[in-house]
Amino acid sequence: MEPQAAPRSGGITDQFRLEGRVALVTGASTGIGAGLAQAFAEAGADVTLAARTEADLERVAESIRSLGRQALVVPTDIRDLEAIERMVSRTVETYGRLDIMLNAAGVQRRKPILEATADDWHYVMDVNARGAFFTAQAAARAMVPQQAGKIIHIASMTSFRGFSDIALYGFSKAGIVQTTKAMAVEWASYNIQVNAIAPGWITTPMTITMNQARKDWVNAHKPQGHFGVPADLAGAAVYLASPASNFVTGQTFAVDGGFTAGHPWPSLDDE
């Protein structure tokens, strides 16, 4: 028997609403995770916020509650597989369901490949790759009985291109693209859509530590000429979390100010 398409109702604008849905966001204390948790709440979802720093999570939770939505704070280190299970269980126990899972937790160590250590490897991979994989697995187990769900990974420009000194991050984010495809194929029969967003350079606590020369290079090589902010990803995230994307799965969407489209040439006046 062929899987049936999820039903839609209302007009096109209604398809982007998230009322009655529950979202779980990792890395929700700052940066992209915090911004997209807020976006889900603005679209109508109740949200579980997970990260390691409870005080920062509570700050985001208060902002979400001010919108009239519920916010559950679950301090979680996704390197701990038992903590992942508790995070998902608490979400389902509190809200009765889990509809949207956003994997935004991520870490970075800037170091040349020749200087990278096993500790560097495990630090980056245990969060960005292993943690994302098992968080999605736990979320999908909660979604299978519902026969519906949306899982969104955060990939990167480093998923597609090599950059010096951040190879470990790139390895982890390249894996996210393939993980997205494999999960999409395996879970399609359960009506679970799995997609990824590949942000360009976004102003977050991770990117503000870049030196000015690299920031200048980034701005010179993207058509829109500047860093983005987490809110620039909100439209794509809400789309992928909503019924509007019910026939979209296994895709990675670049939201990058045009970086992957090409690089601006110098002005003709300079020739």
The residue among 40 and 267 whose pLDDT is bigger is 40
Residue by residue, DSSP assigns 216-239 as HHHHHTSTT-S-B-GGGGHHHHHH
The CATH number of residue 237's host domain is 3.40.50.720
Q: Is residue 4 part of a domain?
A: no
Q: What angle do CA 142, 147, 153 make, to 5 degrees?
A: 60
155, 196 contact by CB (below 8 A)? yes
Give the residue-averaged pLDDT of 30-51: 96
Calculate the average pLDDT of the chain: 90
pLDDT band at residue 144, thresholds of 50, 70 and 90? very high
Name the residue range of residue 177's domain: 14-257
Report d(CA 202, CA 258) in Å as an integer. Answer: 13
Q: Is residue 1 part of a domain?
A: no
pLDDT of residue 14: 84
pLDDT band at residue 3, thresholds of 50, 70 and 90? very low
**Residue 228 in this model has a pLDDT that exceeds 60:** yes
Q: Is residue 269 part of a domain?
A: no
Q: Is residue 126 part of a domain?
A: yes
204, 230 contact by CB (below 8 A)? yes
40, 18 contact by CB (below 8 A)? yes
pLDDT band at residue 206, thresholds of 50, 70 and 90? low
Q: Is residue 2 part of a domain?
A: no
Q: Is residue 177 part of a domain?
A: yes
Residues annotated as part of the active site: 169
**Residue 9 in this model has a pLDDT that exceeds 60:** no
Q: Is residue 162 part of a domain?
A: yes
**Residue 23 in this model has a pLDDT that exceeds 70:** yes
Number of domains comprising the chain:
1
The residue among 157 and 27 whose pLDDT is bigger is 27
Among candidates 253, 259, 234, which has minimal Cα distance to 153?
253
User: What pLDDT digit, counting tens, does each position of 58-111 carry?
Assistant: 999 999 999 999 999 999 999 999 999 999 999 999 999 999 999 999 999 999
Report d(CA 85, CA 78) in Å as an integer. Answer: 10
Q: Is residue 202 part of a domain?
A: yes
User: What pLDDT digit, counting tens, does each position of 103-124 carry?
Assistant: 999 999 999 999 999 999 999 9
**Residue 242 in this model has a pLDDT that exceeds 90:** yes
- Cβ neighbour number for residue 82 with a 10 Å cutoff: 7
